[in-house]
Structures are given as structure tokens and as C-alpha cells.
Structure 1
Amino acid sequence: MTNKEHTFGSTELFERRGYNKDVMPKTASQRNNTTFNFFTLWMGAVHNIPNYTAVGGFLLLGLSPLQVIMALIFSSFIIATILAVNGYAGSKYGIPFAMQLRQTYGDIGAKLPGVLRGVIAGIGWFGLQTFAGSQALLILLNKFFPGFENIGNGFTILGIGIPGLIAFLAFWAINFAIGIGGGSTLNKFTAILNPLIYIVFGGMAIWGFMVAGGWHNIMTYEIHTKTTGMIYPAILSFILIANSMMGVWAGPGASVSDFTQNAVSTKAQVVGQVSGLIVANLLFAFSSVFIIIGGSIFLGHQEWNILTIINQWDNIWAILIATGVLLMTTISTNATSNIIPAAYQLSVLAPKWINYRRGVILAAVLSVVIMPWKLMQNEDSIFVFLNMIGAILGPVSGVMIIHFYFISRCKVNIDKLYFDLNAEHHNGLRFNGSAYIATILGVVISLLGFIPKFSVISDFSWFIGFIVAGGSYIILYLLEKRYKQSKKERITHEV
């Protein structure tokens, strides 16, 4: 049976083999995401609270504001390239990330990277992002309901106060609703969010430009750079910023096929993602620097928290609209980067018992069980978590891309991928040892950055892991191929 017959034919054969509809190749009728859908898909993942806060940290690296803007634009091209390139398998064959992992690592081998991406990164980051967003919601509730912060008189449940718990659960419920609705609900949500982002963040950028007194004052603003850590030359600082941004995008960069499997064509996802990400980051690059430096000039001191800047405005409705859009972007990020990938991975781990909707429910519940408010008691926790995820998933992306383009030659045999678990190398092998060794090597070297003596590695962990894993996989594959060829020739000669 050919790939085309699988894609357009009956699902009974898949169901008999234990696959639910969420991991089957998408049929032509199911692939309805257009260029516009992909153009708007990642907008919220660009314009969110952690990213705006991160720009404040970038300004402390010793770069000028203009250099930071250029570094952010430079990063957008790398991000767009990774998502479009790694999403090709999904858009061409209609397969989700879980099956793309199996095509690379094998049936058994795919489970560990799948758990790392969907369960640990997806659920953990979903909880942390939900808690971060709930803090913005808490500000609004305190503004509009005087005395709200005093509910419970300081009483805490599992380490969180009653007002904070109410805000967290309310925001969690909204995120859950978007996740349970899946891709169709997300498309409608991002279609509404996209113009709001341009209007609100564009307006805030103009505000920052005006209160700062124009371009010259922003570009020449005296920034008190960090006094600890290493200060790099400008070119390395550019790469450091790109690495930090790739840390944020490490999850989506690996699992983008969960979205591109629904593309009407490969062209639609490539054009949509590349144009959407570059346009979104162009706005982000200028608006983030204008808002943060303009806000600092407005407040009279250096301030890198966008929520603090917004909270100092005099107009309550302006605060409501700006914070509301930031909350919406966090919801969009949570759906695209966390809850949807987590649900797909859970459905793959137990396809007979867990489908996509049950995966969303399980992931959402677990995101509360881990008590993310405790994980964020240390202000550096969220960045340590992101750096670790980048160090782990950078090598996974590197191996996946090398495998699909240089070893599989952009071909996926659906028969062998779904039904022949004992097939030959890179078409369904149960455990691809070369891919595993390369990934582990990349992860180990990247994680060395958490040892103080090798801390410089952590600043470039995604790139180091990506390059080391991808490069070593090519070498291991060629050595393995040469060994098999020599063995075959020896047996032939003996015969």
C-alpha cells in the first residue's frame, strides 16, 4: 500500500494496529491550514511577557539598542528556517511529530525524545507559562476589584495565596479551553489576536518613542550593563541572543510537524511561517526596545519588566487592553508550544487509551500537580529551565533534520513507518543506535554548561547541541554504513 493510499484511504487498518486518529497521516480533507493560518500561528509566541523581559537582559550585554534590534531580527531568520525546514516532513506526508521521531529514532527509540519534548518540556513549560500569565491577571484583578488581594487574609494552599490561586485557576481554565479545542480553535483565536498585536504593540512602541523624546534618545540611552558574568564581543553577543531565542523556540522547533501536518501544502507552511515569523519579529525587535527604554525614561530609572511599565500608566483602560493582549499572547504560546505537543505525545505513549482530548486533560491536570508557583520561587528558575530544555531539544532537532534531509533524502515510507517495526535502517528500525548516540553526545556536551567551569557553553547551548549532535550523527551513520558494506563484501567473498 502506498503513502497516497494511506493518506486518502480507510483508517481501519491503522485502527487495527492500535493507532488512534490523532497519530494517523492526515488526509487531504483534513489538511486545511493555509498560508494565512501559518502567518498568524506563532505571533503570540513572539509577543509575550517572558520575551519582552528577556530583551531587558539583552540590553545588559553591552550592545547598543540598535545592535539588540538587529540581533533580534537576525534571530528571526534562524527561527523561521528551523521551523520551516523541520516542518517539511509533516506538510509533505501529513505525519505528526511523534511519527517523525519514530522515523528518526525507531519505534522504541522515539519514546525518550518524545517524553522530553511533550511531557517534560510541554507540561512543565505549560505550568510555568500559566503561572506567569496569572500574575498579570492578578494585577488586573487587584486594579478592578479593590480588596481582592486581601481575600483569605494571607491564608495559603500548598504555598500559594487564595488570590493567586484564583487567578492561576482562572487563567489555567482559559488555556485548557483553547487546548481542548485543538487546531481549529487555535486558528480562530490567532486570527483575532493577530490584528490586536499589531495595534496594541505598535501603539505601545509609538508611546515609548514619544515619551523617550525620539530615536536619538532611545539609541543613546545610557544602560548600566551587568557586572557579573562574561561580556562577549558584539558578534558573539549576537549569537548569544540568537541562542537565547532558540532556547525559547526549542520545543516548537522540534515538534512543528504537529502543526505542519495540517498544511494544505508545503509551500503554505514555508511561506506562512517564514513571513509570519520575520514580520512578527520585526515588530517585536523595535517595539520591545522602544517600550522598555521609553518606559525606563518615562519612569526615571532603568526598568526591564513590561508589566511594571504598563502598571504605571494613568489610564486604567490602557492598562486593561495592553495587559489583556499580553495574556492572550501567553495563551497562544501555551497552546502552540506546550499543551498541543504534550497532548499528542501522551496519545502516542498510550494510543489505545489516550487520544488528543484525553491527552489535553491529563497534561493540564499534571501542570497543576507540579505546582509551578513553587518552581518559580527562585527568579532564575524559569531561565534555568529554558536553558535546560534548549540544551536537550537542540540535539534532537539537529538529528531529526540531518536524518530527514541527508539520510532519508526527504522520503518517508508510510508502510514501514506505521506497520513494519522490523524494517531496515531509517525506515522504522525499532532502535536507531547512531541517532541515539549522537543525541546523547549533543545533550551531554550542552549540559556541561551547567557546571561553573564550563558555564560559557550554556550561553550557546542550543547551537552547540544542534551542531554536535547533527555532525556526529552523519559521522556515525557513515561509519555504520561502511561497516555493513564491508561485512557484506566479506560474507560474499567467503561464499
Structure 2
Amino acid sequence: MTTQEVAPDSAVIEHKAVGEESLAPQEVRIMDPWSYLFAWLGGCVSIGTFTVGSGLVGTLNLLQTFVAIAIGCTVIGVALMINGQAGHKYGIPFMVQARSAFGFTGTRIPALVRSVPAIVWFGFQSWIGAGALNLVSDTLFGYSNIWVFFIGFQFLQIGLSVLGFHGIKWLENIGSVFIIFSLIYMFFSVISKYGAEISANLINVEGTWGAPFWGGTMLFLGIYSTMMLNVSDYSRELRRNVGPVRQVAIYANSILPATLFMGMIGLMVSSATGEVDPIKVFSSAVDNKLLLVVTLLFIAFAQVTTNILNNVVPPAYALMDVFKINFKTSAVIVGLLAFGTFPWELVKDESAAGLSLFIRTYSAFLGPIFAILVVDYFVLRKQELNIDKLYDPEGPYKGVNMAAVIAMGVGIVFALIFSGISWYASLLPSGILYYLLMKHLPSAQRFREN
């Protein structure tokens, strides 16, 4: 089926070929629980996690960082399960799920908020992967030209991304085993090489359990807060017989290991060496040339698995919705847009603080949207959606729901005021206000229809 929208009769997709993604509700589910777990594991090995870990040097000690990561990942797992229920039950993507709360036109606001960070991370991680490949080439053949590798690496990812979720499934399933063993190896290599420095700088220091600690949990949470919005894009691919408790277990068991290893490695090596460039850090931790090459190839491969799952699908679906183009064209456009994010600037030492600020800032927008979607689906609609109305551009969800826009704006204000814990601070104000506005704002009356 190549149609990107469905008529008001809500025709359901019962089969899809490779690369044939659609915004229509789908009955076909291509991922069993293990495939889904491996997809998330491969998709969560983010170099951004490493950078965030590096940024906590001098703020938290080793135990506090471990606990901050654990808390952040627990919140992530529960949040993903909650907001993914609509997609899992009805087979609809995020762009359609958001229509009942924001309206057909209003949905473009959360789509933009979700897509911009994805494209930025796409470019950032592609540059990291290209740097790893460049260092492999320099080590083995004496040839170094990062621009050649960056351009080639980006087009490789574009080629893989057009395969859609069938390609994602097999790429992540095959790559996850390599990724987890590589992470374990690098973790213990870092401890072996920098044990004394880690003990002095991270274990035998006081740190803090105050506001900076909770800010640290939000930084790790913020890396995945984008996926909390569009989790329905993924949960619609998971088989129906996987219940909520099992879903939380899948999310936790995939996200926690990747985040824990990457965040702790970033913290430990940066505290020992003062270096925040991931490529330099990993290369300094490995003395054997063969193992260095394997480690660098892991870094490059991890960027592919993360980008294809997390940074291509959301903006591609947004482009499909706005411009009525097919998935393959959208995926190519997303890959080309990533060139314009200037990732070579983002990886500089002086950019580490700016990257953390970027995460905090866009988390200020993501928290309110998450709260609105959850209140809309669970509280107002009691987990019941009218699929025909969600696909009727002239129906009750036409235009913009000002209740959602106002609630989002107020939530953003709270998030910016309490910037250290922006995601947490925005949830209650935006969620409660959205509920009240949906009950009492006259212009929101038609959006209450179900």
C-alpha cells in the first residue's frame, strides 16, 4: 500500500513491503518481544549519552551518576510504555495520535519539536561515526580525510533508512549483540587503565544529592525524552500480545545497559583525562591496534543503529504528514537536512556545555507535549479513540486545538523557570491546565468528541 493517508473509512494496512511505511493504521506487526528489545538496545547507544556523562565531571561522584542514570532510565521505561499504548492498540503513528489533542494543523507543532532534535542528533552522531571510520583508515592505511568519510557515511545511512522498519528490525537485531559485548569490553578497559584516577576523582569525592543530582537524572532522561513523544511510531510494530508490564521490562532492559555503560564511560574517562571528544577518549583507552580498530568500528556502527531508529523515522513521518510524500523520499530529505546541522562544531570541547543546554531546552518543550498526550488519551478519552475521526481532515479535529497550545505554552514557562529539572517541572502544570481547558474552553468543545 503506497497511500500515505487513509480515507475516512480508515482502511487498515495488513501487509507492508520493505520500505513501504505509511501513516495509516496497521494491523501487521513485524516485531516480536526479542526483536523489539534488540531494536531499542541498538537504537539507544547514543554518543550524546557519553557527552552528558562527561559533563557531570566535578558535579556527581560515581555512585551518584549510577543512581541518576538508573532513575532516569526507570522514568523513561514507564513513560515509553504509557505514551506508546495508543500506537500499540490502534496501530497508529505519533503524527496521528497527536491529532486528537492538537488538531490536524496543530499537530505540526509537536512534529517540529520532535523533528528538530532528531535531525541535530542525526548530524552529530554521523560526524562521530565518520570520525571513527577516519581514525580506522588512518590507523590501518595512513589515509585521513574526515569529510570524505562523513559524506560517505551519511549516504550509507540514507540508503539503509529507506528500507523502513523491516531494515531497522534486522539491522538492530544483528548489531545489538556486537554492541553490548563491545560496551562491556570498553567499560572494563577504562577501569583497568584509569582505575587510580577514577578512584581519586569519582569515588573518594562527596558530590551532591541535591538539585544538581536531579538535574543529572533529567539530562539522561532528556536524551530519550524525544522518543517518549513518538514512541507510538515504534510500538505499532510490536505484537499485540505484549502487555504493559512486559513493555516496561523491554524498555528498561534495553535502555539501561546502553545508557549506563556509555554514561559511566564518559564520566570516568573524562574525569581521568579531561578529554570529552568520544573518539579521542575511546582511542586513548585501548592500546592494542586490533582492538582499537574494533572499538572504533563499534562507535561507527552504533551511530547507524541509533540514527536509523531514532533520528530518521520521526522527522520522516512528519514530512509525510505535512507534504504528503512517501517514506523513502522523506527519509532521503531527513538525511540531507542533517548535513546542515554543523556537527563538526557540536563535537568541540567547548560545545559540551552547549549540548547539555540544548538538551535541557528542547526537553522544556517535550515535557508539556508528553503530559498533554497522556492526559488526552488516558484521562479524557479513557483509552478509546475514534479512528475515522483521526483520519478525517474535515472532522472535529480540524485545525488547531488552542487548549493544547495554551497548556503547552504554560508548561514551557515552568520548564524554563526550573531549567535544571525542566522535564519534570513542566508535567503537572501542562497536564492539569490541558484537562481544565478541554472541559471549559468553548473552542475546545469539538475536540472533546470521541
Report the TM-score range of the alignment, normalised by the length of the smaller protein.
0.7 to 0.9
Gaps of 5+ in 2: 1-7, 446-450
Q: Indicate how the Cα distance of structure 1 residues 8 and 376 shifts in structure 2: closer, same or farther if over 3 A, else same.
A: closer
Match of 1:184 among 161, 166, 171: 166
| 1:335 is the counterpart of 2:317 | no
Aligned residues: 435
Q: 1:125: Cα distance to partner? A: 2.7
- Larger radius of gyration between Structure 1 and Structure 2: 1
Q: SS of 2:55's equivalent?
A: helix
Match of 2:264 among 283, 289, 310: 289
Report what 1:155 is aligned to: none
Match of 2:32 among 5, 15, 34: 34
Question: Cα deviation per residue 1:400-440 (whole Å; 9 max; x = unaligned)?
Answer: 111111111111101111126332xxxx3532111111012
More moved, 333-342 vs 44-53? 44-53
Report what 1:442 is aligned to: 411
**Normalised by the size of structure 2, how large is the TM-score?**
0.86
Q: Is residue 207–residue 291 contact of structure 1 (8 Å, CA) maintained in 2?
A: no
| 1:111 is the counterpart of 2:145 | no
Match of 1:357 among 325, 328, 341: 328
Distance 1:482 1:421 in 2: 16
Distance 2:261 2:21 in 1: 43
Q: Indicate how the Cα distance of structure 1 residues 266 and 250 shifts in structure 2: closer, same or farther if over 3 A, else same.
A: farther
Report what 1:256 is aligned to: 231
Q: Indicate how the Cα distance of structure 1 residues 35 and 433 shifts in structure 2: closer, same or farther if over 3 A, else same.
A: same
Report what 1:55 is aligned to: 53
Report what 1:198 is aligned to: 180
Q: Is residue 160–residue 308 contact of structure 2 (8 Å, CA) maintained in 1?
A: yes
Report what 2:366 is aligned to: 393
Q: Is residue 68–residue 216 contact of structure 2 (8 Å, CA) maintained in 1?
A: yes
| 1:222 is the counterpart of 2:201 | yes
Q: Is residue 133–residue 300 contact of structure 2 (8 Å, CA) maintained in 1?
A: yes
Distance 1:483 1:88 in 2: 24
Report what 2:25 is aligned to: 25
More moved, 42-51 vs 355-364? 42-51
Q: 1:266: Cα distance to partner? A: 6.1
Gaps of 5+ in 1: 12-19, 150-162, 449-453, 485-495
Distance 1:208 1:9 in 2: 48
Q: Is residue 252–residue 336 contact of structure 1 (8 Å, CA) maintained in 2?
A: no
| 1:409 is the counterpart of 2:382 | yes
Q: Is residue 107–residue 421 contact of structure 1 (8 Å, CA) maintained in 2?
A: no
**Normalised by the size of structure 1, how large is the TM-score?**
0.78
Question: Cα deviation per residue 1:294-319 (whole Å; 9 max; x = unaligned)?
Answer: x579xx64545543232123211111
Q: SS of 1:244's equivalent?
A: helix
* One-letter code aligned to 2:12: T
| 1:311 is the counterpart of 2:283 | yes
Q: Is residue 398–residue 469 contact of structure 1 (8 Å, CA) maintained in 2?
A: yes
Q: SS of 1:109's equivalent?
A: coil
* One-letter code aligned to 2:441: E
Match of 1:240 among 191, 202, 215: 215
Distance 1:290 1:127 in 2: 22
Report what 1:81 is aligned to: 78
Question: Cα deviation per residue 1:385-404 (whole Å; 9 max; x = unaligned)?
Answer: 32322122221111111111
Q: Indicate how the Cα distance of structure 1 residues 211 and 436 shifts in structure 2: closer, same or farther if over 3 A, else same.
A: same
Question: Cα deviation per residue 1:304-358 (whole Å; 9 max; x = unaligned)?
Answer: 554323212321111111121122221122112211111111000022xx11111
Q: Is residue 208–residue 292 contact of structure 1 (8 Å, CA) maintained in 2?
A: no
Distance 1:266 1:326 in 2: 34
Distance 1:483 1:106 in 2: 10
Q: Indicate how the Cα distance of structure 1 residues 5 and 52 shifts in structure 2: closer, same or farther if over 3 A, else same.
A: closer
Q: Indicate how the Cα distance of structure 1 residues 357 and 269 shifts in structure 2: closer, same or farther if over 3 A, else same.
A: farther
Q: SS of 2:30's equivalent?
A: coil
Matched residues, percent identical? 22
Q: Is residue 35–residue 269 contact of structure 1 (8 Å, CA) maintained in 2?
A: no
Q: Is residue 60–residue 225 contact of structure 1 (8 Å, CA) maintained in 2?
A: no
Distance 2:389 2:257 in 1: 43
Distance 2:383 2:134 in 1: 48
* One-letter code aligned to 2:173: A
Q: SS of 2:175's equivalent?
A: helix
Report what 2:400 is aligned to: 431
